[in-house]
Amino acid sequence: MEQELHFDSIISFIRGMYPEKSYVGLHEPVFCGNERKYVLDAIDSTYVSSVGSYVNLFEEMMAKITGTRYAVAIVNGTNALHIALMLAGVTRGEEVITQALTFIATANAISYNGAYPVFVDVDNDTLGMSPEALSSFLANNVVKKSDGAYNKITGRRIAACVPMHTFGLPCRIDEIRQICDNWNIPLVEDAAESLGSYYDGKHTGSFGLVGVFSFNGNKTVTSGGGGAIVTDDECIARRAKHLTTQAKVPHRWDFVHDEIGYNFRMPNLNAAFACAQLEQLDKFISDKRLLAKAYEDFFGRIGVPFMKEIPEATANYWLNAILFQDRTHRDSFLAFSNNNGVMTRPVWELMTRLKMFRDCQSDGLSNSIWIADRLVNIPSGFRSR
């Protein structure tokens, strides 16, 4: 009952953060830079599809921002993760360890490769994969062989591990990397939500063999639809670009394709938009971190847990989140806030609660279940323009 008494004050505080809005959305994009100029320039150039100067510039900017050697522009984050898993060597009938507390794109991308997701728990303070849970699962269920790690129950090879930096809060990715290295399991980072987030001063997405980002309409930086793969491996970067361009052998006029490829390259129009947004990344992150600090102070005063970065991390706070004492209070607040012109939402349904993945192996997911019953995302959009 105590938390219910705060519903009015929470809504009032959120509205005070966005005084000019009659309806407060969850995360609306802001276009206050060179978006229109660059898009019109791309149109005037007539290069509006997957070839153009802005695609090249976008890749250069992403590599510089993430501190990686290479970036490859992809049409969206889901396709980027699909290809990233292929690049890591995932094939049909194998298994990929990930977290159940994630957006469905993570599990879908595993399925696109004909692989089976295996779900391990998250840490309560990061919402990302728990190194302890990963280590325990491997110790109890997996055996090392000369050609990799194998699930003792299913007999399938563990082809990759995909942790996610949930809502832009970095998980303990250094520990996860060490565990994966020890077990010879390729690490693919789902950094879709964490552009501008760092762990120990190193950008998310740059710890694994490959990292993946999304530029969907509700992300910190958007291109309407878009994604990126980043890596330090030149061969992987070249193959990523080849596979996502229909595996066409470069030639001025011949159309020869040397394997099954995909039409997954980001169009120049989207890249132009993304470049203008990336130019404003520092301003966007500064604004979002100020908002998160205001939320942290407010919710601390009224005794409602607010999800914040761990000491080793610097988060972009893509989506801010609070925790209620149980599912009943969570649902009551969701109804109250949305009925009063403030958009809030629960975390995604756990993957193991969806019919497609309910039979997948998991470790019990005690933290994930606890969080899923209590977490609410609150408005996290930009306030400065």
For the chain, percent of residues with pLDDT exceeding 70: 98
Residue 2 in this model has a pLDDT that exceeds 70: no
pLDDT band at 1 (very low <50, low <70, confident <90, very high): very low
Q: Which whole-number Å values give the CA distances from 112 to 25, 108, 213, 381, in the listed order?
A: 32, 6, 18, 32
Q: Considering the domain boundaries, does residue 101 fall inside one? A: yes
Q: Say if residue 113 is in the same domain as residue 180.
A: yes
Domain boundary among 249, 278, 307: 278
Residue 187 in this model has a pLDDT that exceeds 70: yes
In terms of residue numbers, what domain contains 164? Answer: 35-278
The chain-wide mean pLDDT, for the chain, equals 96
Q: Say if residue 119 is in the same domain as residue 248.
A: yes
Q: Say if residue 97 is in the same domain as residue 133.
A: yes
Q: Say if residue 244 is in the same domain as residue 349.
A: no
Q: Say if residue 89 is in the same domain as residue 235.
A: yes
Domain containing 330 — which CATH number? 3.90.1150.10
* Model pTM score: 0.96
Q: Say if residue 188 is in the same domain as residue 227.
A: yes
Q: Say if residue 247 is in the same domain as residue 336.
A: no
Which of the 8 DSSP states describes residue 295? H
Do the Cβ atoms of 116 and 110 come closer than 8 Å? yes
Q: Can you tell me the distance from the alpha carbon of 245 to that of 228, in angstroms, rounded to the nearest whole number?
A: 14
| SS3 call for 164 | strand
Amino acid type, 11: I
Number of domains observed in the structure of the chain: 2
Q: Considering the domain boundaries, does residue 56 fall inside one? A: yes
Domain containing 173 — which CATH number? 3.40.640.10
For the stretch 316-341, pLDDT in tens is 999 999 999 999 999 999 999 999 99
Strand order in the sheet with 227-231: 70-74, 227-231, 210-214, 188-190
Amino acid type, 214: S
Q: Which whole-number Å values give the CA distances from 11 to 279, 295, 330, in the listed order?
A: 33, 12, 14
Q: Say if residue 134 is in the same domain as residue 224.
A: yes
| SS3 call for 15 | helix
Site of tokens 């400065």: 384
Q: Say if residue 225 is in the same domain as residue 288.
A: no
Q: Say if residue 185 is in the same domain as residue 208.
A: yes
CA atoms within 13 A on the CB side of 84: 39
Q: Considering the domain boundaries, does residue 166 fall inside one? A: yes
Q: Say if residue 158 is in the same domain as residue 103.
A: yes
pLDDT band at 163 (very low <50, low <70, confident <90, very high): very high
Q: Say if residue 61 is in the same domain as residue 203.
A: yes
Angle at which helix 77-87 crosses helix 104-112, to 10 degrees, equals: 50
